[in-house]
Structure 1
Amino acid sequence: MSVSNWKEREREQRRNDILDAAETLFFSKGYDNVSMNGIAKKVGLGKATLYIYFDNKEELFYTVVLRGVIILNTMIKEKVEKEDTGLEKLIAFKKAYNEFIRRYADYFKAYNYFQSGRFDLSDMLHSDYSEIMMQSMLYSIHLPSNFLKVDANETIKEIFKLRKEIFFTLHKSIELGIKEETIRSDVDPLKIAAIQILICENIGNLSFDFRMILKGQGVNYVKFTKDLDDFISQLYIK
């Protein structure tokens, strides 16, 4: 191995060590209770070294979120691609999302916090973001060049790209189901996809007090989620 390759490998390992330490602290303490000093102490490096690899704490958190979104996108694609019909793909999508929530609860919490409004991402988005998303969704998987502003954070760009791919996978599955006539033809695949993702994201994020209310009324949480999914499915399945 050449000296340059060895140095590059060492640099990548150190970057991953920093990220692993930050991830552990974010998961155990929450974003707002973690500092760059704490991360430096956890990984055993000087604080100044962290800034060689990451601009700030936000960048570290975005990268942790990206790790989770990569896992989610991979799980969804693997399960959906195994199925043949649109309806089967739709069901596989929901199963993959629910499995991600169960297996990677910490990543899911971080992902939800990223979407909570805690971080101001509006300055990074093009003013016509929603229209660009719509056109891109309908005609191409590739993001247009003006999807995000030129100076937008690269990690944020990748997160949004993968989020769009996740939505696109579901949207195309619903379209296929409509074409095959296993899903009602009078529904809007875009709206159904949005509703389904909202349910997937929020059903795994029910507040503690709401869960306690269900429990107090003798309602099994697992059965509740299944009943809700069955109810929503009746809106679009033939």
Structure 2
Amino acid sequence: MGIDQRREKEKQIRRNDILEAAEHVFFTKGYNQATMDDVAKAAEFSKRTVYVYFNSKEQIYFEIMIRGYRLMIGLLKQKIQNAGAVTAIESLKQMGDVFYSFSRQHPEYFKAIIEYETAEIDFESGVTDEARDECYALGEEMTEYLVGLLGQGMDEGEIRKDLDVVKTALVLWSCVIGVLNTAHKKEKYIRHMHSTTPDELVSAAFTLMLESIRN
């Protein structure tokens, strides 16, 4: 390994160490309460060193959100691979199961993704073009998979052929985000006021979504 390669490797290690420390700080203290001083202390670097690798707290949080996106997509791919050949409707059900499981098992990553999906943090001044482009690519990967399943379902005769697959994919994703966010944030309310569990709410919502596109 040459000197330049070694330096680049060391740089990536330090960068990852900072991200790991920041993730711990943000997830335990809360993003709004956390500071770059907190991140630097947890990473055992000076704040100046942290700013060498990340130009803002917003950039760090955005890249942590990307980690969550990667994890969620990885879980989805694993589910698909293990399932083998199934119908489009079954695959859509599996996607819903993965998204809900992810939201329960990784609530902090899910929270970061929700904040990205429901706001325009990708246009924060501290977010780099590279991070924004990677996030868009991950989002498009999800959309393209949904579009493919909708097309497959039409070919199988299970999904309505009058639907615009791209718009339908975007609507389904938006609905999933909204339902999972409600199940996550309003659990006590729906239990107390409607005697409904998050599991029941999500199951009913996913069934309704699928019925709305069935042939």
Q: Secondary structure at the match of 2:121?
A: coil
How far apart are 1:110 and its partner, in Å?
Answer: 0.9
Amino acid at match of 1:227: A
Give me the whole-angstrom Cα distance separating, in 2, the residues matched to 1:8 and 1:209. 41
2:214 aligns with 237
Residue type of the partner of 1:109?
K
Report the CA distance shift for 1:209/1:56 in structure 2 as closer, same or farther (over 3 A): closer
Aligned residues: 212
Distance 1:189 1:84 in 2: 19
Could you tell me which runs of 5 or more consecutive residues in structure 1 were left unpaired when the two chains were aligned: 124-150
- Superposed, which structure 2 residues align to 1:1-238 within 5 Å? 2-81=2-81, 82-117=84-119, 119=121, 121=123, 153-206=129-182, 210-216=186-192, 217-238=194-215
CA contact (8 A) 2:183 2:198 kept: no
Question: Percent identity over the alignment?
Answer: 26
Query: Which 4+ runs in 1 deviate beyond 6 A?
Result: none
Do the aligned partners of 1:27 and 1:110 also contact (CA within 8 Å) in 2?
no
Rounded to whole Å, the distance in 1 between the matches of 2:24 and 2:180 is 21
Q: Please list the CA deviations of residues 60-83 of structure 1 after superposition, one character each: whole Å capped at 9, or x if unmatched.
A: 111111111111222223333533
Structure-2-length-normalised TM-score: 0.86
Residues 183, 237 of structure 1: 8 Å contact kept? yes
Code of the residue aligned with 1:97 in structure 2: it is F
Q: Separation in 2 of the partners of 1:225 and 1:195? A: 16
Determine the C-alpha separation between the residues in 1 that align with 2:101 and 2:9. 33
1:195 shift after superposition:
2.5
The TM-score with structure 1 as length reference comes to 0.79
More helix by share: 2
Q: Distance in 2 between matches of 1:117 and 1:223?
A: 27
**What RMSD over aligned residues (CA atoms) do the two structures have, in Å?**
2.6
